Structure 1
Amino acid sequence: MHIEQLPQVESHYCRSSSSREYLDTDLSISKLYDMYVKWCEERGAEVVRKHIYTSIFNQEYNTRISFVKPKKDRCDMCEKFRLKGKEKSLNEEDRQLYHAHRVAVENSRVEKKKDKETEDVIISFDLEKALTLPKADISNSFYKRKLSCYNLTGHLHKDKTAYCCLWTEAMCGRKGNDIPSAIVKILKNIVIEHPSTKRIILWSDSCIPQNKNSIMSLALKTFMESHPFVESIIQKFSEKGHSCVQEVDYIHSCIEKALKPSEVFSPLGLVRHLKKMRRHGKVIVIQMRRDDFFFIFRVLQNI
């Protein structure tokens, strides 16, 4: 079947809770059908009508393949409370859990606001969904396995600078060892720009595999040992399901808008587009090298 010839990728946001995979975001059912017609003509195969093709896709593939990669904007806890409320099945334990959850959300918001009023260096960071290359409106490219590029974005509150730290899957992935390597690279650039830095506060979501783990702690400790003028680094996390890194979300939105009308064929082309991106504040693009990734797992095994 034509649909099965198209490479799919897993979700950035729901990898642990869903087996659904996604087609290239530049595709649609209409574009897919046009490609199918050309595919059949090249093979001398009979072409079915569009409504039949659409029906087959919806009935046989739509439960495991989709065009749009969803960002889970709805909090699981809030959604559970809302649905139980509609069904009138809430009990006292549910109400207490939800109240504690909402208090934690508000506390995170207030805490970050207070941090911004201090002289500390406040950095928000998050990993953008994978950017796949080449990005071009060429039908043959949709049948090829694309290269995944990763962008860990940091936002420095002091001067509104965006730091885009880039690498490809050919170099490393997006596991526990890779994210700490990228955040350390961003920190090294920040202390060069701001040599008077003494106290750093890092804000991120509470994703345990990427941000909230012993590997990240050891990476930050290693950074401080090599930069003794930095007196402290404090990690703070948003309540699960409620992002407190809206500054980074905005940068990712700017990147998406900048890339949407563009054709990008290589990681170098991606770097050029990001450097030209329009936003309020400077954009610094950092290209990771292979020796920038340190293997924290090996260090942990010796502790």
Structure 2
Amino acid sequence: MDLFSYRIFPTYVSIDHDRRSTCDKLDCQIKASIAPNQSAKIQLELHHRKAEGAREVLKQDTIESQEPESTKCILSMYLQQVMFVPALTHNDMFYLSQLSCYNLEVHIGDTNEAYMYMCHESRASRGANEIVSCLLHIVNRGLTQKKHLVIWCNNCGDKIRIGFYYLH
């Protein structure tokens, strides 16, 4: 961790994960209301603009990190929803159990490399220690000699922030 100097800036705009909760909730409010619901429409439009703005900043950060004189290393992370194995029909669920699998994708913007960390529920969970262990694995592999590490994440930001406090 001596290679990187880092500051933790909490953000409130999620790139992908917020789509399910915020967008769907506001969309349902708009469709369910009898009278035109301007407040929900404005909130939905604002939410979309924030998400598009965050994607643009991520894209610019990635392009900037690929320049030879850049001092930033950009990581973007995506913690997928829990995947259940095997896929069962409703009738089979009563008699059979499923194994929960977790997948964390980490994309390095500088080199355009991607790492996938997949494990099942008996080995790990979706907690801060597991997320930070994956990040530490990437950093310890000699990720870069750049001075600043910028991490973009969809829905595990609190876990990363807590994990950095553990490492600090």
Question: Retained in 2: the 8 A contact 1:128–1:152?
Answer: yes
Question: Retained in 1: the 8 A contact 2:77–2:104?
Answer: yes
Aligned residues: CA RMSD = 3.5
* 1:229 corresponding residue in structure 2: none
Distance 1:99 1:149 in 2: 34
Question: Retained in 2: the 8 A contact 1:152–1:182?
Answer: no
Higher RCO (C-alpha under 8 Å, 6+ residues apart): 2
Distance 1:73 1:94 in 2: 14
Distance 1:134 1:98 in 2: 36
Question: Retained in 2: the 8 A contact 1:77–1:98?
Answer: no
Distance 2:96 2:125 in 1: 20
Question: Retained in 2: the 8 A contact 1:134–1:147?
Answer: yes
Unaligned residue ranges in structure 1 (runs of 5+): 1-70, 226-303
Q: List aligned pairs for 1:23-62, cutoff 5 A.
A: none
* 1:118 corresponding residue in structure 2: 64
* 2:117 corresponding residue in structure 1: 165
The alignment partner of 1:89 has SS state of coil
Distance 1:150 1:78 in 2: 28
Question: Retained in 1: the 8 A contact 2:26–2:44?
Answer: yes
Distance 1:158 1:130 in 2: 28
* 2:129 corresponding residue in structure 1: 181
| 1:196, distance to aligned residue in structure 2 (A) | 0.8
Question: Retained in 2: the 8 A contact 1:148–1:168?
Answer: yes
Using a 3 Å threshold, how does the CA distance of structure 1 residues 134 and 94 change in structure 2: closer, same or farther?
Answer: closer
* 1:89 corresponding residue in structure 2: 36
Distance 2:85 2:40 in 1: 45
Quick one: percent identity of the two aligned structures?
22
2:164 matches 1:220: yes
The alignment partner of 1:75 has SS state of helix
Distance 1:218 1:73 in 2: 23
Question: Retained in 1: the 8 A contact 2:27–2:44?
Answer: no
2:23 matches 1:79: no
Question: Retained in 1: the 8 A contact 2:30–2:36?
Answer: no
Question: Retained in 2: the 8 A contact 1:147–1:169?
Answer: yes
The alignment partner of 2:64 has SS state of coil
Q: Which AA in structure 2 matches 1:182?
A: E
Distance 2:165 2:64 in 1: 23
Distance 2:146 2:165 in 1: 16
Question: Retained in 1: the 8 A contact 2:82–2:101?
Answer: yes
Rg larger for:
1
Question: Retained in 2: the 8 A contact 1:121–1:200?
Answer: yes
The alignment partner of 1:220 has SS state of helix
Q: Which AA in structure 1 matches 2:160?
A: M
How does the TM-score come out when normalised to structure 1?
0.38
Question: Retained in 1: the 8 A contact 2:102–2:118?
Answer: yes
| 1:183, distance to aligned residue in structure 2 (A) | 2.8
Residue correspondences, number? 140
2:102 matches 1:150: yes
Q: Which AA in structure 1 matches 2:123?
A: M
1:204 is matched with which residue: 153, 157, 160?
A: 153
Question: Retained in 1: the 8 A contact 2:124–2:130?
Answer: no
Q: Which AA in structure 2 matches 1:75?
A: C
Q: Which AA in structure 2 matches 1:187?
A: L
| 1:217, distance to aligned residue in structure 2 (A) | 1.5
